[in-house]
Structure 1
Amino acid sequence: MREEILNYTQNRELSWLKFNQRVLEEAQDPKVPLLERMKFVAIFTSNLDEFFMIRVGSLFDMVASGVKTKDSRSGMTPKEQLDKIYEAVAPLYKERDKTYAEIKKQLHPYGVCGLDFKELEQGEKKYVKKYFKEQILPILSPQIVDANHPFPHLLNKDIYVTANLKVDNKNMLGIIPVPNFVSEVLYLPGHDIRYIRMEKVIMEYMELVFDHYTVTDKNYICVTRNADITPDDEALEINEDFRYLMKQTLHKRRRMAVVRLEIAEKLSPETEKYFCDKFNIRKEQIFRTKMPMKLDYMFAISGNLPDSMKRSLTYHPFSPQPARGLQDGSIMRQVKKKDVLLFYPFESMDPFLRLIKEASVDPNVMTIKITIYRLAKKARLVEYLCAAAENGKEVTVLIELRARFDEQNNIDWSERLEEAGCRVIYGFEGYKVHSKICLITYRNRNEIQYITQIGTGNYNEKTATMYTDLSLMTANKEIGEDASNFFKNMSIGNLDGLYKHLIVSPTTLKAGVLRMMDEEIKKGSAGRIVMKMNSVTDVDFIEKVSEASRAGVKVDLIVRGICCILPGVPEYTENLSVMSVVGRYLEHPRIFSFGKGADQKIYIGSADMMTRNTEKRVEVACPILDEDVKRQVNHYLEVMLADNIKGRNLTKDGNYIMRDQSEPLIDSQERFMKEVIYAQKVQNDKPKNLMDRIRKIFGK
């Protein structure tokens, strides 16, 4: 182990929990509209669910297998990491409960009321009881657990209502699964949005379900199971169909070990021991929550509000704007003349989709090739790719079936694409294909030419309105030739391809980034490095950042989530600053900037500086060669680095603190929304003039 690195690094799991605490802080911000604050509670909750399923699940496996290898960034064994995680999560539950209760209380005057049974009015209680007896009771599947009835398998993240039952001096456990095919909440009659969770309704009327028993100790519970299953864990037969293997993997995920038990009411010592024995867990893995275990319904409530209430309880409406610099008419024709950069969700994804649609019917287009990691449930992109294949174009889709929790969606789309005549390939054993690259090849007279798109985010039309991402469309011939070679290499299973402009993991991306960092290190205090990512865990990169800092290079990292390197540590990272932005939209671009002025190199791509991305995934980063586009990206970085409303600074002890709130106050996402709206008003300006005017009006 490189012992020195422990002086300026932290554990990745504890760093992630600090990030999720930042999400909870958005829920606590009184300047954020109330229902948006409740959504942040929901996001915090779903984030924590996935954290337990994947990260805790992985550590759980290591402990069960007797692994005692120490983490290279914290020096802790898997067992020690789990202990620290349970210790750190417990106070987060209490903070979340308090936050939820406060928001819920403030929503009541607006007529948005999540209720306990005791809070119902008399008429509402009658309504709920009638509804339960007529609509819910007939479809319940209650079970008892005794000597003749074994403890059932509880599904991951499903809610079960439980109680102790007694009859003829015999004690047993009663369990009722809350049906997945009924609404999570029961809305009450009236003009206000008054509702009660379905598990609370079932718990109230358990005596009607177990009518032969004495019912005590009512509760509802939810287990979280290890979901860290990948095909790499399976014995792959060379002729086995990959889609079939993925379907088997998804089935196996349902029966994995329990890593967490959530409870609504305090357990007696006897019941606590009973559940610990049944689920093979420790009491530290049991977490009590006073708020709903699922909050997805909050998004539906927000969508169904009358307009008058939406204005008070949600963010002001914003629709992605047309891309600056693009006119009506052919996208292909405009991209052939000049590089175009789209900035989601401030600008619409529509120009890229129109590009594919145009290509699908253009008689000069011969091939369309694309890598796909995640798609929306409804995807115009797939329609256009299928149309292209049906129009005689050669369409190649490299789709990653192992995109976690999107596996089934990708299986379904791969079948649809194949049916339309697309050539579908699946990547590599041991390496996920996470790149976001699309290549259109067309013939211009007798010359082969290209339009290449490189993105930082998925081709997902839903998340393109929720995540910030960059999407470059270029007709640069050398980048097109690189992209053509990339797809050829993917088709023949070659991970070692070399390219003139693109840097591609697992072979050249990390080496390329480290090489460009070395160039800045040689400049000493005249060097400059700015990088924006979602996570930083790669040890080689971390050591290089420390080396740059010690050489006097000013390094700024904008890291949304996990950051294992600590800034401001004397002798190691004194010239490093790390900030995180958590706001209305999920920050997602990966931008790598090296140097200043005419010598500056900027890359955008799909990779975080995580070992899994740099060594175990196929990732692509592309240089920004167009000066106007480079000016745009620099502007985005400048504004984000200046964000002192949603931005937080990481300290050398691993905590996040508010930034200096002196003027000018800058919320980077709010600024970008204003800028694209302004850009539409002066859309006839040349790109350089437009950026100058934006700086003059908005600053930065």
Structure 2
Amino acid sequence: MDTTCYTNRELSWLQFNERVLNEAGNARVPLAERLSFAAIYQSNLDEFFMVRVGTLMVQMHSDEKIRENKTNMTSEEQVKAILKRVAELEQKKSRIYEQLMGELEPQGIRIINFNKLSNEEGALLETYFDQNIAPFLSPMIIGKQQPFPFLNNKQLYALVLLSTKGGKGKMGIVPCTNSVFKRLIEIPSRPGTFMLCEELILHFVSKLYPKYTVREKSIMRVTRNADIDATDVLDEDLDYRDVMEHLIKQRTRLSPVRLELSRQINDKTQKELAKFLGVHKRHIIKVDTPLDLSFGFQLQGYLRDKTNLFYERRSPQMTPALNLKESILDQVAKKDVLLSYPFESMKPFLRMLHEAAEDDSVVSIKMTLYRVAERSKVIDALIEAAENGKEVVVLVELRARFDEANNIEMSKRLEDAGCHIIYGLGMYKVHSKLCLITRHTEQGLSYITQIGTGNYNEKTSRLYTDLSLLTGNQKIGAEAARVFKSLMLGETVEQTEHLLVAPKCLQNKVIAMIDAEEQKALRGEPAYVGVKINSLTDKAIIEKLIEASKAGVKIELIVRGICCLVPGIPGETENITVVSVVGRFLEHSRIYRFGVGADEKIYIASADFMTRNTIKRVEVAAPIYDEEIRDRLRHIFDTVMADDEKGKQQTCDRAYVDRNLHEKKLNSQELFYEEAYRATATQDPATAAQDQDN
């Protein structure tokens, strides 16, 4: 098997997370914001172990020897490679963390240990420990009558190795996570100077075991597999929502996949821990930074008055394409509108939903929901519509990982309001971002359709770059209606003319459009493919891209995260360029481009080029027919492609490197915000002010 043009998906993901970590050490990023990138790196890695490593470890213990289909690595080989790479990244994280902490000191913020305290300060903290922490701790000793306790996922514990005068050793464990005491304990005599509560507990842990001598000690943290199996949910005799609630509870007790230690402990104890937890000793990782970096967000609160340490404040602007004083439904019926988040506000879409809830001409609202905000205005609008007598059909995907509980709660609220709820679609997760408003007007049946690249979530619309198309195109509306009809029947769409709809009408159509460009190149005509996605793992599409590159098609790929295709290999992928942008906002929008000039086909989509998206989920891509919006999407794509401030280009040796394309570095996200502000400034001042207030 020739693996020259491929990268393992797990190792590629670790490269992406390293780019996140690099932002924590990037001197051009405001200091306080770098704390966020450090914490995000860690939370990303936690989820990676919980989902990807957890899945690989399950595969390792199966009878069938599963190999990854691009690099031919077994599950065990992948896990070993991951652990080796993570160990290397831990060293880099430690250097960046020390650098960050050093740069925070001149700003009056310090995280210290007991070695840097005076005797008086040490005495104060000891009193604080005795009065405010020790009474709430539950120290345990492991023995025949006290079995090894269950360690909760991602919680902090003090591990102590104890001995008595007789010399017999024992193991003690103290939970350090508690809602009673704070994680950051401020030193009274030094404002802005903190000690982490787990370090304070570890320092005085001997007071919890007065009859023993503490020989070794460390903070530890276990990560558990979180990839719950929803197969049983497909049993038609079981209540879908009840089973999902049960599975969520099961997740908290799944097998460990990693144990982190803050200090080195002896080899014998490590083997005992590995045996207790049911993992190989290689899954025990020594970490030289605090095991939970989320306190960085708390530190930011102490720095808020120093605005120079943060990004410049930005607020989503109102699109100049709509006037909120007039009916949005009527405006969209006349002309397509594109909203670009977070640079433009989600408010026009929310206003359109509320308008539809109250409009007498609106017969029904149908919507697919994958992730929504906890206090969702979208849910409020749908409930309002149902209470006003509209037919409201909502597909709530209960299998949206880590959002299952929130989606279950939202489904109950919608159901109580009289909405018709669909829970997913059998073997296929529904990941599409599709909303269909059906009206009965004097001219007859009329559709307003919204198709997006991101979730209906007001919070993430301010943090992720996403695109949302509002269209009155009746052919698109009719196909969207077919999608919903199929979902309500528990089926998938078999054929489409305008929309690309996975699992049966997306991958094949994408490959066909790449093939059409390949045929142009073979005829000596200009040929082009441009794709902006989060991940590229679909082997069928990758093989077609390689084939097209060999034929001479110019291919530009903006892939934020996993990219299993290696560009720039002579004779293979030399016509392919891969760029990844990691910046202030999470790049999340998907754009597909095929062809050049007037014949170019442009889509926005909910789907990445991953097999799970292209043939294992319900996804929707929408064609863009409006010429102004087409030009705008070309501008967005080309600008991100040319970003040399936050964009890194992948080389043929799989490395991601800086580029110097402009005399002054181009930051695409900052440019898009500047453009949004300028567009708002050109509006009538009274209209703009009224729009911002709404």
TM range (shorter): over 0.9
Is it true that 1:489 corresponds to 2:486 in the alignment?
yes
Aligned 8 A contact 1:203 1:220 in 2: yes
The residue type paired with residue 667 of structure 1 is N
SS in structure 2 of the partner of residue 244 of structure 1: helix
More deviation, 619-628/320-329 = 320-329
Q: Provide the identity percentage.
A: 45
Asked whether the equivalents of residues 218 and 262 of structure 2 are also in contact (C-alpha less than 8 Å), the reply is yes
Report the secondary structure of 1:172's partner residue.
Answer: strand
Which residues in structure 2 correspond to 1:318-467 (within 5 Å)? Answer: 318-329=314-325, 330-445=327-442, 447-467=444-464
- The one-letter code of the counterpart of 1:478 is K
After the TM superposition, which of the residue ranges 635-644 and 676-685 deviates more from structure 2?
676-685
Alpha carbons of 1:421 and 1:297: their partners in 2 closer, same or farther (altered >3 Å)? farther
String of CA shifts for 1:323-362, please: whole Å, max 9, x gaps: 1322231322221221111111111111111111111111
Secondary structure of the equivalent of 2:59? Answer: helix
CA deviations on 1:524-550 (whole Å, 9 max, x unpaired) are 051111000000000100011011101
Find the counterpart in structure 1 of residue 279 from structure 2.
281
Question: Secondary structure at 1:526's aligned position in 2?
Answer: coil
Q: For the structure 1 residues 31 and 147, does the alpha-carbon distance in structure 2 shift closer, same or farther, using more than 3 Å as the test?
A: same
- CA separation of 1:303 and 1:620: change in aligned 2, threshold 3 A: farther
Match of 1:315 among 311, 317, 338: 311
Q: CA separation in 2, counterparts of 1:401 and 1:130?
A: 48
Amino acid at match of 2:388: N
Gapped regions of structure 1 (runs ≥ 5): 686-700
C-alpha deviations, 1:410-461, integer Å up to 9, x for none?
1111111111111111122221110001111111125111111000001111
CA distance in 2, matches of 1:454, 1:564: 28
* Corresponding position of 2:691: none
CA distance in 1, matches of 2:322, 2:192: 43
Query: Which amino acid is the alignment partner of residue 673 of structure 2?
Result: M
Superposition pairs of residues 189-588 of structure 1, within 5 angstroms: 189=188, 192-232=191-231, 234=232, 236-303=234-301, 305-307=303-305, 309=306, 311-329=307-325, 330-445=327-442, 447-524=444-521, 526-588=526-588
Cα distance in 1 for partners of 2:10, 2:251 equals: 22
When structure 1 is superposed on structure 2, of 255-264 and 110-119 the one drifting more is: 110-119
**1:325 touches 1:684 (CA, 8 Å); kept in 2?**
no
SS at the partner of 1:24? helix
Report if the CA contact (8 A) 1:534-1:562 is conserved. yes
In structure 2, the CA distance between the partners of 1:237 and 1:102, relative to structure 1 (3 Å rule), is: same
Question: CA contact under 8 A between 2:483 and 2:493: conserved in structure 1?
Answer: no
Aligned mates of 1:522, 1:345 — CA distance in 2: 38
- Label 1:127 to 1:372 Cα distance change in 2 as closer, same or farther (>3 A): farther
* Structure 1 counterpart of 2:161: 164
Q: Which moved further from structure 2: 89-98 or 423-432?
A: 423-432
Secondary structure of the structure 2 residue equivalent to 1:579:
strand
**CA, structure 1 residues 121+328, in 2 after alignment: closer, same or farther (shift >3 Å)?**
farther
Which moves more between the two structures, 642-651 or 61-70? Answer: 61-70
Shift of 1:236: 4.5
Q: Distance in 1 between matches of 2:159 and 2:453?
A: 46
**Contact 1:13–1:85 (Cα < 8 Å) also in 2:** yes
Runs of 4+ in 1 over 6 A off after TM superposition: none
Contact between 2:32 and 2:303, CA under 8 Å: does it hold in 1?
Answer: no
Normalised by the length of structure 2, the TM-score is 0.95
The structure 2 residue matched to 1:137, chosen from 128, 134, 152, is: 134
Q: What are the Cα deviations for residues 222-265 of structure 1, in whole angstroms up to 9, with x where unaligned?
A: 01111111302x37532211111111111221222211110000
Check whether the contact 1:486–1:497 (CA below 8 A) recurs between aligned residues.
no
CA deviations on 1:483-529 (whole Å, 9 max, x unpaired) are: 11111110001113323311100000111111111111111051111
SS of 2:584 mapped into structure 1: coil
Which residue of structure 1 lines up, in the alignment, with residue 97 of structure 2?
100
Paired amino acid for 2:81 = K
Q: 1:191 to 1:316 in 2, by over 3 A?
A: farther
CA distance in 2, matches of 1:141, 1:390: 50
Q: 1:333 to 1:193 in 2, by over 3 A?
A: farther
* Paired letter, 1:314: F
Work out whether residues 489 and 497 of structure 1, in 8 Å CA contact, stay in contact via their aligned partners in 2: no
Could you tell me which runs of 5 or more consecutive residues in structure 2 were left unpaired when the two chains were aligned: 686-694
Judge conservation of contact 1:226–1:259 (CA < 8 Å) in 2.
yes
Q: CA RMSD in A?
A: 1.7
How many angstroms apart in 2 are the aligned matches of 1:369 and 1:533? 26
Offset of residue 76 of structure 1 = 1.1
CA distance in 2: counterparts of 1:507 and 1:29, whole angstroms: 43
Q: Contact (CA 8 Å) 2:642, 2:661: kept in 1 or not?
A: no
CA distance in 1 between counterparts of 2:634 and 2:661 reads 23
Normalised by the length of structure 1, the TM-score is 0.94
Deviation at 1:292, TM superposition (A): 1.6
Larger deviation: 156-165 or 496-505? Answer: 496-505
